Amino acid sequence: MNSLNKVISLTALTLACLFIGGCGAPASQILKTQSGPVQGTTSEGVFIFRGIPYAAPPIGDLRWTPPQAVRPWDNTLVSDTYGPSCWQPTGIGNDAFMSALVAGSGMSEFSQWLLKTGAGFGEASISEDCLTLNVITPEINTDKPLPVMFWIHGGGHQYGSGGETYESTSLVNNGVVLVTINYRLGIYGFMAHPELAAEDPNGSTGNYGMLDQIAALEWVQTNIENFGGDPNNVTIFGESAGGHSVGQLMASPLARGLFHKAIAQSGTGFQQFQKTDQANETISGFNASRKVAAMVGISGENEVAKLRKMSTETLAEAATDLEISIAFHPQIDGYVLPKPTSQIFALGEQAPVPLILGSNADEGSVLYYMGVPPVDGSNIKGPETIEQWDSLLQEEFGDQADALSIHYTVDGDGDVVKGAEQLMGDSLFGRHAYFMAQRHSAAGHPTFMYFFERRSASPDETIGATHAFEIFPVFGTTLPLWPTDERDDILSKEMQSYWTTFAKAGDPNNDSAPDWQSFSQLQPIEMGLGHEKSYSRPVSRMGRYEAMLGQLLRREKRALELSE
């Protein structure tokens, strides 16, 4: 498996050439885009175009507006370098998450130090001028255009980028074109304000990051044929916030027809009930922006005009305030997202496309300790005693509390934290994948569910198949020094064949991997992507998911009442 991250300083340049690509790689041929000519590089027999602008820089008066057309250029744009990540806090978020992964991997202490020292967590370049995408293609001059796989990165809608981490030659060598994107994050991607709604012709505000994703999909429709891709066969796929984005794009009428298949990894959008103008589970988008204005000392009329003139440094404290930033996610605005995603799926109004979706066995083993509550949709903090555990289950799940509790080994105070960690993963990721599969298959659309169980190969690992682990085999990557064995290579080949075969035909089954049975309400089947082997089986955690249904239905009912 190829490593994609820089390592220790004495050999940083050499290893960057090996792990990242570039470093004198020959230039590709010049290709036309609607905005101007671009020239990328070649590596391992594929063509790589980095940092192509797909929209105008969202700065100045374009801060908090829908993405605008990029200014055309005449001279060839050398596309051999990734654009900066969209503005985000550094030193926390993804950096803390990656550090926790490394700590729980079973690596030796020296290997952990070596990786953290050389990888330079937190050193990424950030900017508001960030709306770029990247294209990796095995073929440019082809008689038969290739399926396009459009990747949306995760990071809680606050962190991350579509850059070097996802540069996978092994994935595209399965016969697909890979597109990865940046989109606005946090305060710049998802702040809603009544003045912004008033200036928008559709009354929309708060979903600028989603509109960036849609603009990038429109770029694909216009330009991807020149890169060997088929605009009539586009698969969106993403993980965590990117998985939520997949579900939300399936729910948005603005994205209809821009993609033809979807893969949602550890995210569905089913957890999001926030509205721009009404508080529901969190403060409203409007109240969040009012708090932003108050923190930087402005009020009254023309708040947005004043906020647009402020630097990112001035806004940084408000951007990271926990009470405020919890609202910086896609939200129901009546236009980009007309209703909660889960309700759109319940009504059968989502995009009618084939779908792969799933979650990991130990989603909460890192995220829970970063402050994620144990039950999605609840404000109750993590329990520490068995009395608090029982109270949490009773408060959130009512008459299903006992039915749910039997699925967790919580016999005393010492078991509570581990039980809450497992509950967090099931409630935020596993059950939503299950109910999304139920609703999508009930609407008559091909649906394939998976459950990822591969852990680090080290006997000393402590985090199981945690959140984001499935990204490694999908992209054929791993971190340098990560403990692996033969199973990792086998699993990567299996998952890449499933994902790319699905992108080609809407069904993941192929001759080089175990049979994957589709999901239906009568036969709720998942593909167990196991630690030792892969096989289809009945949904392993269906009992606990079903016990959580009532809480989801109550949340949906509450959201519907607010909209009436």
Instruction: Look at the block and give the residue holding tokens 């710049």.
Output: 188
Mean pLDDT of 314-333: 95
Do 212 and 189 touch, CB atoms closer than 8 A?
A: yes
Mean pLDDT of 298-321: 95
Q: pLDDT tens, 134-147?
A: 999 999 988 899 99
Q: What is the mean pLDDT of the chain?
A: 93
For 358, phi then psi, to 5°, come to 175, -175
Range 551-556 contact pairs with CB under 8 angstroms and sequence separation of 24 or more: 551/375, 551/377, 551/396, 551/397, 552/270, 552/342, 552/377, 552/431, 552/432, 552/435, 555/273, 555/281, 555/377, 556/273, 556/340, 556/342, 556/343, 556/346
> What percent of the chain has a predicted confidence (pLDDT) above 90?
85
Q: pLDDT tens, 149-195?
A: 999 999 999 999 999 999 999 999 999 999 999 999 999 999 999 99
User: Quick one: pLDDT at residue 18?
Assistant: 37
Quick check: 12 pLDDT over 50? no
Q: Which amino acid is at 66?
A: P
> Which candidate in 168, 240, 245, 365 is catalytic?
240
> Which candidate in 445, 467, 470, 546 is catalytic?
467
User: Quick one: pLDDT at residue 114?
Assistant: 82
∠ Cα 204 149 445 (to 5°): 75
User: Quick one: pLDDT at residue 119?
Assistant: 58
User: Quick one: pLDDT at residue 17?
Assistant: 43
**How many Å apart are CA 147 and CA 503, to the nearest integer?**
6
467 is catalytic: yes
Quick check: 449 pLDDT over 90? yes
User: Quick one: pLDDT at residue 24?
Assistant: 58
Q: pLDDT tens, 82-91?
A: 999 999 998 6
Beta strands 132-137 and 146-152, pairing class: unpaired
User: Quick one: pLDDT at residue 519?
Assistant: 98
Q: How confident is the model at residue 120 (pLDDT cuts 50, 70, 90)?
A: low
Q: How confident is the model at residue 503 (pLDDT cuts 50, 70, 90)?
A: very high
> Which candidate in 128, 164, 239, 363 is catalytic?
363
**How many Å apart are CA 551 and CA 395, to the nearest integer?**
10
pTM over 0.75: yes
The token pair at 558 is: 């509450």
Do 39 and 31 touch, CB atoms closer than 8 A?
A: yes
Q: Which amino acid is at 454?
A: R
